[in-house]
Amino acid sequence: MDIELAPEDLEFHEEVRAFFQENAYKPGEDYAQWRLDWFRKAREKGGWDVPKWPVEFGGPGWTPAQHYIWEQETARATLPWDMPFGAGMVAPIIMAYGNQEQQERFLPDIRARTVNWCQGYSEPGAGSDLASLKTKAVLSEDGKHYVVSGQKIWTTAAHIADWMFCLTRTDDTGRKQEGITFLLIPMKQDGIEVKPIITLGGAHSVNTVYLSDVNVPVENRVGEEGKGWTYAKGLLQHERTGLAGLSRSLVALEGLKENARSVQRGNGTLMDEPAFRAKVAELEIDLMAAEYTELRSLASAQAGAAPGPESSILKLKGTEIQQRIQKLTMEAGGIFSAAWGARPVGPKFAKGGMAGYLASRAYTIYGGASEVQKDVIAKNVLGIKRSAR
């Protein structure tokens, strides 16, 4: 048991830092071009554009220590804009359950970041209880395409997406987890309508997507008809481990402390106020523990073991920590946090303080609400079986 980084890890650390420095965005550059170039160069480094992909699909095959170093550095660097839905979410499903033709067709564009994806899961009647979904997919008589009708909701980035990976119902006679089919649907076509939903923080990132008799070729079905739930469950696991965002929280916490020290309070600063300081300290301690929970989880993954019980708590702890940082940032901003929109009042960091806090309330809702996570942990980790009584 030790935490020394091996000499080759220290070298790797330097290499990562140098890469970020050399390829940082320079003011005046064409952003879209810079973004695509960045991912191309990362790819040339040996799979740095897709750190979590398996080696056989071009991933770098890093050790846990290397993943950890990468995460730490990415939290500090300004990386090109990237949504998790493509390389992070649909790609692992296509790799695991798609056929070779689908892999050759979709993975290169996902990797190059030239197409945008969105996730068609939740529906008005299917939130945490996702398997209750009703969006219908009916196979045409000639067996060549599905006709999809229904409504998806909370669909992040649907308004800029080229594709949606979508859970549809092809059979409603059995258990609700059965009869779900995983389809890849082009967004730019007749029958698809995207309407924005503005959330509490005032931002537009989620949408309602209406599907009316949308034609989806049968080649766009991943895996077998009716097996989509099994595939999606695997993906949810992916999504959950990716949501902890601890390195980012570490950087955000540093910022919070710095900001709080800039806020005057009597002869001192906000950080001299015992109640506030104690909240920041408790937050930092939880974060320090969670960092090692993540390292333990990475280490057991490296050893090829099934993710240990510690992995299951990362999404819960990680999102809760993110929320607490937003909350303390709002508190630090005091009255100025209440200014709506881009009004230049108060300290710079306080801008949008309340809006940011409000937006953060979603962290413990999306990707499986915290309460659903707890149900899953109770069952799968604590081994509590619901009795038949």
Partner 1 sequence: MNFELTDEQRLIAESVQRFVQDNYDLETRRKLADRDPGFSREHWATMAELGWLALPFDEADGGFGGNQIDVMVVMEQFGRGLVLEPYLASIVLGGGALKRGASAALREEILPGVIDGSRQLTLAYAEPQARFDLHHVTTAARADGDRFVINGHKSMVPNAATADHIVVAARTSGGQIDTGGITLFLLDAGAEGIRRNNFPTVDGRRASEVDFENVEVPAERVVGEVDEGFSILNAVANDAILALSAEAVGVMEMLYKSTVQYTQERVQFDHPLSDFQVLQHRMVDMFMEYEQCKSLLYRATMEAARGDDETAQRTIHALKHLVGKSGIFIGENAVQLHGGMGMTEELAIGHYFKRILVIDSEFGNADFHLEKFAA
Spell 323-338 as b/e; 16+ CB within 10 A means b.
bbbbbbbbbbbeebbe
Give residues 295-314 in contact with partner 1 (rule: CB under 8 A).
295-296, 299-300, 303, 309-310, 313
Report the C-alpha gap between 156 and 237 in whole angstroms. Answer: 18
| Cβ within 8 Å of residue 148, ≥6 positions away | 135, 136, 137, 166, 168, 183, 185, 211, 213, 214, 215, 216
126 is a site residue for partner 1 (CB under 8 A): no
1 is a site residue for partner 1 (CB under 8 A): yes
Which one, 123 or 291, has the nearer CB to partner 1?
291
The one among 277, 346, 358, 365 contacting partner 1 by CB under 8 A:
277
369 is a site residue for partner 1 (CB under 8 A): no
Q: How far is the CB of 184 from partner 1 (least distance, A)?
A: 35
Q: How far is the CB of 145 from partner 1 (least distance, A)?
A: 42
Q: What is the DSSP letter of 158?
A: G
Write the DSSP assignment of 182-233 as a string of letters.
Answer: EEEEESSSTTEEEEEEE-TTS-EEEEEEEEEEEEEEGGGEESSTTBHHHHHH
Q: Which helix (H) or strand (E) holds 265?
A: strand 264-265
280 is a site residue for partner 1 (CB under 8 A): yes
Tokens 């650390």, located at residue: 13
The one among 16, 65, 130, 209 contacting partner 1 by CB under 8 A:
65
Region of 78-86, 239-247, 293-301, 325-333 interacting with partner 1 (CB under 8 A): 293-301
Q: How far is the CB of 190 from partner 1 (least distance, A)?
A: 44
The one among 102, 151, 259, 293 contacting partner 1 by CB under 8 A:
293
Region of 25-33, 137-145, 216-224, 380-388 interacting with partner 1 (CB under 8 A): 380-388
5 is a site residue for partner 1 (CB under 8 A): yes
Q: How many residues bind partner 1 (CB under 8 A)?
A: 47
Structure tokens at 124: 């008005």
Of residues 337, 365, 363, 366, the one with CA closest to residue 352? 337
Longest dimension (CA), the chain: 79
The one among 58, 59, 64, 84 contacting partner 1 by CB under 8 A:
64
The CA angle 216-218-219, to the nearest 5 degrees, is 105
285 is a site residue for partner 1 (CB under 8 A): yes
Residue 326 to residues 24, 182, 354, 356, 362, Cα–Cα distance (Å): 27, 36, 8, 6, 12
157 is a site residue for partner 1 (CB under 8 A): no
Q: What is the DSSP letter of 342?
A: T
Report the C-alpha gap between 286 and 327 in whole angstroms. Answer: 15
Which one, 106 or 276, has the nearer CB to partner 1?
276
Which one, 76 or 279, has the nearer CB to partner 1?
279
Binding residues for partner 1 (CB under 8 A): 1-6, 9, 64-65, 68, 277-278, 280-282, 284-286, 288-293, 295-296, 299-300, 303, 309-310, 313, 316-317, 371, 374-375, 377-378, 381-387, 389
